[in-house]
Chains A and B, each alone.
Chain A
C-alpha cells in the first residue's frame, strides 16, 4: 500500500523559545512536530511551534465545514511542550476534537493543561474553558488512531512526577517513525530506547546539549547520545531536534559536521543513519514505505 506521510518540524527548540537572527536557518520555536498523511494529522507536543500549523488548518478547514480531528502526543508536560496550545486555532472551535495521548494519567495530563491555561497566566480559565472537545488517553498498550498504531515507552525523569513518553508510530504501509523528545542521558535509558525503537526507519531524537555542559543539558540526551540511539536502532534517517536555545545555526552545523566525522570513523559503509538537523524552514519531509525525500 503506497502512502505518503509528511513530517513538518514547526518547533525545534527545547527549554524556551529562541527567536533570533542567529537561528534563521534552523528555527526558534519550542517543540512541535506535525506528522500527517491523507486522512490524519498528528502533533508531537504543543510548544509555540504548533501555531505555525494554524495557517494550514485555516486553509483546509475554511473551505469545508466538516469537523476537525487531530491527535496531540505529549512526550512530557513541561512548559516548552504545552504553552502553544491556547494559540492553536482549532482549540477555539466546537467542531474540533483533540485526542491528547501521553503516558501520564488523565488527571496528570488535565492538571498540566489546566496549569498552562490558568486564569492567572492567560485570558482563559483552564483546559475545559476551550470550546473544542478534548479527550485524554493514557497509553499503556499500543493505541490505534486512524490508520496508525501508536506505541509509547514510559520514561522516568527526575524533573517530572509523571512518566514521560518516547513514541513509535507505525502505519500499515510500512512507515515506521520513532520519536524521542526528551530522555535522561544515562546508559539504561539509552538501552531501553534502543530496544523500543529497534528497526525504526525514521528516527527523530532530542539533541539538547548546549555550548557548555550546563545543568540544563545534563538532564537531556546530547548529540552523541542521539547518534548512539540511531546506531543501535539501525535507523535509516536520524533527525536531531530539541536544540538548546544557545545553539545557533553555526554551532548546530558544526555539531553535525563533528557527528559526520564520528560516523565516518566508525566506518559505516552504508553511511546510515543519514544525519539531519531538523529545521523549521526546510519544508516538509516526505516519507513512504519504499523511499524518503526532502521537499523544499
Chain B
C-alpha cells in the first residue's frame, strides 16, 4: 500500500502572552499561538486559537473540500483563544467544528467559549452559527483518535489550570506541541492539582515523577514544538514559561531530533529571536538535535528529521 505523504506542520502564530505588531518583529511574526497539522485529508487540525488563527480564517476558500475542523485547545489563556469569536467557519453551513479541550478551574471549555461572545464585549455582531459544534472534554493523559486516523495523546504540563501538551501521530508523521510550560523545580507547582499530588507523594518525588513522565511523553518524538518564552537572564519561573535551556534539556533527554522554539516573548524583536536560535544551536549540536525558531507562515514536513 502506498504510504501517505508526511503531514505538514504549519505555524500561523508563534508569539506568546499577547499578539504584538512592530516593524521589528515581522520576520518571525507577531500573532499569538496557532499551529496547524495538515494531513492532506478533508479535515483541518488546528492547535489553539490565538490571533494566528486569522491566517486559517482568511484561507478558508483555499480548501473548499475541507468541511470539518478539529481544534485542540491547550488551555484558555487569551493568547490561545482570542480569535475564536472571529472564526468565520462558525457561520458555514454543512461544516463541523470539533473542540477538544480541557476544563479550566472546574469550568467546561464550552462555558468559557460562550464567555468570549458575551454581549457588550464582542466587537462584532454575534455570529449566526450554522456549523455543527462539538465540544469534547480532554482530561490529562487522555488518548483519542481524530477521524479514526490521527492519534492524539495529552499530557498536563506545569502551567496554570489544566494546560495540555499534545502528541499527534498520523502514519509516520509525529509531532508534540508543548505550550506554556514552566520548570517544576523548587516547588514551582502551577498546574491544577499539582500541589495536592505533591502533598501526598512529597514535593521532591512529585517533581521527579513529573519530569520523568514529561521525558517519557516526548521520548523519540522526532519533532517537538516547545515554549521558549524566556531566556536564562529574564526567567520568571512562576509566570509559567520555559527557556531554550529548559527545552533543550528535556528534548535531549527524550532524544528529540528537531526542536522548534516557539511562544516567543512579545518583547523579543527579530534579532533577539535569531540570537536565541544561534545560541541554542551551539549546544544542541552536541546532542545531535536541530533547533529551529518557529516562524509565522513557515511550513515543515513532519519527516523523521
Residues on A lying within 8 angstroms of B by beta carbon are 14-21, 23-24, 27-29, 48, 51-52, 76-81, 83-84, 87, 112, 115, 118-123, 158-162, 215-216, 218-219, 245-246, 280-281
Contacts and interface: CB of A to CB of B under 8 A. Distances in A.
B26 A24 contact: yes
Given A16-B83, A19-B21, A120-B107, A159 B119 contact: yes
A121 B112 contact: yes
B86 A21 contact: no
23 contacts: A14-B123, A16-B54, A16-B83, A18-B21, A19-B30, A77-B121, A78-B120, A78-B122, A79-B85, A79-B121, A79-B123, A83-B82, A84-B18, A115-B118, A120-B105, A121-B115, A159-B119, A159-B120, A159-B122, A160-B120, A215-B125, A216-B125, A246-B58
- Tell me whether chain B's interface is mostly helix, strand or loop, or mixed: loop
Contact of A281 (B15, B23, B77): B23
A48 B125 contact: no
Contacts of B119: 159-161
Nearest to A82: B121
Contacts of A81: 123
A120 B76 contact: yes
A19 B78 contact: no
Contact of B120 (A15, A80, A162): A162
Contacts of A23: 21
B20 A19 contact: yes
Nearest to B118: A115
Q: 5 nearest interchain CB pairs?
A: A19-B30, A28-B21, A19-B21, A78-B123, A17-B19
Contact of B54 (A21, A27, A48, A245): A245
A218 B125 CA distance: 9
B29 interface: yes
A289 B222 CA distance: 64
Given A17-B31, A17-B51, A123-B77, A48 B123 contact: no
B51 A219 contact: no
Given A19-B31, A121-B112, A115 B240 contact: no
Given A15-B86, A16-B82, A83-B82, A112 B51 contact: no
B30 A28 contact: yes
